Structure 1
Amino acid sequence: MAASLRAAGRIETAMTPQKLREPVNVLLVDDQPGRLLTYRAILEPLGDNLVDAASGTEALKRLMETEFAVILLDVNMPGMDGFETASLIHQHPRFEKTPIIFVTAVNVSDLDRLRGYKLGAFDYVMVPIIPEILRSKVEVLAELHRKRREVEVVNAELAAANRALQTEKARELEAFNDTLREANAALATRNTALQMEIAQRARAEQRLREADTRKDEFLATLAHELRNPLAPLQNALSIRRLALAGSNDELQDLMERQLSLLVRMLDDLLDVARITRGKMLLRRAPTALREVLRNAVDTAQPLFNQWGHELVLELPGQDVMLDADPVRLAQVFANLLNNAAKYSEPGRRIELRAELRREPALPAPLQVAVQVVDQGIGLDAGHLETVFDLFRQIDNRVERAHGGLGIGLTLVQRLTQLHGGHVSVHSDGPGQGCTFTVLLPCSERVAALPPKPAPGLSTGVPETAAQPLRVLVVDDNRDAADTLATMVRLLGHDAEALYDPQVVEAAVARMTPDLIFLDLGMPGRSGFDVARSLRAHPQGRDVRLVAVTGWGQAEDRRRSLDAGFDQHLVKPPDLDTVKQLCTSQQGRPDRQAEVE
């Protein structure tokens, strides 16, 4: 969370000189000296100024002397208890927004918690204290305090800049009016961006004061905002890939790998949030295990190629049928394969095995066991018990080298559980490699594998030359619109980029496009409004509408379909997906008749 706050503060640091991380003041209030020493031992690694107070009265005195970013307040103190102290603190206008973390050694009732929150408490910490939890809570609040101070400085600088501009405007001659208008426009743009950042920070602070479920909503918003700059980067790489015309380019491969890693981390974060909130819905269907494993291998193959690993497959002669979500189940095995690749030295052998097992004691007696076996760094007994914990990293040095948030194995476990299965890990110790076993219920029916087509024979319909499409790309982000339009042109179609949602209808009347890529989150007029307007006119009823957005949850897809979109595409768009959309549009019967 602290990392996201630092990312959100880029505008402030761009306008003021870069500063080192300044320590803030943290007030520790407890009548027990031993507990005060404990607080200090836990919080001193943060590098902030820790100030002790042995009572509520002394705490009030300290507050009058200096400003504090956060207060750690014992509930049960003789004389003035924590609740009374908190009430007096927040009655003072200077301290009404100072966050308070209550510390209690006894279980508090819901009424006590409600009373504390009404008094302005940020959170509760129970004794015995878990150091990591207390340290992370204080670190987040200290970082928020620093950011608020930075905002105040930036606001003061902006106010001074505005006054200087107004003074200079009064003195300048008419010849300088054009230059002054440009300066004012630039300043207005900067002010708008700053206000957006301030609004986002205010919403983030509000979510921190609410329940834990509100934090998951912040993760979803953060991932969406990060997808917007990722879209033009992905488009640019796709354009470069098309320009290379099949030639090998190590720099291209490197950039695509790293961008895919970033997108995957965002997706993993959102998946964990959905599972935690109980909003992960599986799209179950009869699913062939072999197809699931093939998709998982395709996903992990770039990392295997990068490190020269040998992948050995041992699969049953006949396929196994599951009642599962094929996409989510492929994600389980892809994460396990990526994990094996990251924790193995280059050029090692990694095995992917699958076998049927009879487990009479289980509700579904027929089970399939899928194992991923590596020869990597292995695990000691302590790590075997915690390897599936959220944000747990087996070896920080490996994670730093290959990227990761420590949530891949957590997703493996929870997605497996959603499928009614179980995942376990075995290792003989450090340096002895690991074996991850996923046990899943499967159908009693075993499907025969389809026969392979004879060499040289085509099973598809002969391809016919198709007329290039007329494609319109609408996005207020010029980089995203231009790069996606360029990608479509390199695929052999006519494409036009449009940045203003207000003139879409006029462009459609002028060029009668076959396909429109339409951004949803545009200022002044959303993509939903544009889609509804197009569907209400004869010229827009038959055009294929594709929503392009950073939001990709089930509710977002439902909203786009209700607005009249034919398909929902999550940023950054993939080259193969864009190519498939164009190809399928060319093959539509109504368009084929038009070509003929």
Structure 2
Amino acid sequence: MVLIVDDRPENILPLKKILELHKFSVDTAESGEEALKKVLKTNYSVIILDVQMPGMDGFEVANAITGFSRSKDTSIIFLSAVNTEKKFITKGYTSGGVDYLTKPVDPDILVLKVKTLHRLYEQQQELRAVQDSLRNEVDVRKQAQEELADRIQELRLVLASLPQMAFTVATNGRIEYVNEHWFNYSANPTAFPQTHHDDDDIGNEWPIYLEKGIEFTREVRLKEIASGAYRYHLLRIIPIKQQDVIVRWVGTFTDIHPQKLAAELLEEQVATRTSELLLKNSELETTNHELQQFTWVVSHDLKEPLRKIQLLHDLIKEKYLKENPEAISYLDRSIRSSARLSGLIDDLLSYSQLAMPAVFKPTDLNKLIDEVLVDFDDTISKKKAVITVDKLPIIDTIPGRIRQVFQNLISNALKFSRQDVAPIITISAEIIESKRIDSEPAPSGNFCRFLVCDNGIGFDEKFLDRIFIIFQRLNNRTSYEGTGIGLAIAKKNIDKHNGLISAKSRVDEGTCFILILPVHQMNEPIAN
């Protein structure tokens, strides 16, 4: 803004219009006193000041303005029509003016001078703003350096209190500070301790991490000065950042020698134990194979005399004891005992065969169950049993073993029926979401839930855990035949199929066996 000071309005008006035509903001004052009041409130780039004024003349006003701090960058141009002598011009310059023009004034010259002085004023203001900004930045940096120095001192106090060797590294890789533990391994505070020759590559690795600005961690053996022995340490050097810029690195050497020795000893013991287990496993496999061979031989040798005993009993019964009911009764009991022993031998042989390897393949379970039911035709007819089999899916199984499962479950359903009540057996299936007994049905699931339900004698569910254990029986041997192996065989076969088996039952209300089997199996043979 430009201020025009003149006691005559007719002199102010043309100057004001000329400057406003050149886009200047113009303010006016008609006395020196009014001008001083305005200068105290407003910043002016240029003041055009008349010399000859009543009261305070232009020189007095200029002397007063130059004493104001806020006007130190303001340029004063004197205008005079009377005082044109050299002494007055000199007085104008000594009073703080930058120019002295005599009237009449050439408007173009005046405008050029005002433009030049106004531009100079703006440059001075910009320069002052830059100086203030630099001064503030210097103050901020000074404060930041003081805070950084305080933090560095705190960091060094913390590192000095650590039980590990601790140090700091500058961004150029030079060691800045080490704590007292450092000197147990290095006499030089600017050089890393001596490492084992197998760990000398650390000198090549660390610069790479320093350049990339990432954490460096590795185990290293350092030579202890006092003992000359190498001890295992864990070296860790991490970058310290401020505003995402690395300002230094902090590192530690943690003594892990006891843990390392213990780990090496443990590894040796594990290796020794593993070798022993492999040897024992080999011996166990040999023994298991021999046991299977033994089972086959024994079962054959046991069943052969049993067949002869049963045959001879039948001959004696038919030829010599027809007229002796009491002897026939005893002989029938002996025949039944021989039959139970034969059944026990067969079941034990079946149980031992579960350890043999087998291969999964897609199985039509409806066809498999139809074949199983053929084996029970006589029993089904005799007991007038009703068996319903829903449409079952084709899933991956070991056919011989899954046949044993359904054979045992159907056999039990027929065997443990209620007296004078025809057995009703239903077999159904549904695809489910997950391998859980109570999983929700899901057409795209990976598991299948089978239900084998009957209306037989049932059992108390508190004995559920016992029914799948070999030789465990919940019923009187004299009332219901069996060896107590069937459900144990079923459980082991289901385990081989990576499945689950359970049951729900109530006494005299029947039993429902639940099987969960994967739809698809891995195409690899399995073994015990």
Shorter-chain TM-score range: 0.3 to 0.5
Structure with the bigger RCO (C-alpha within 8 Å, sep 6+) is: 1
Higher helix share: 1
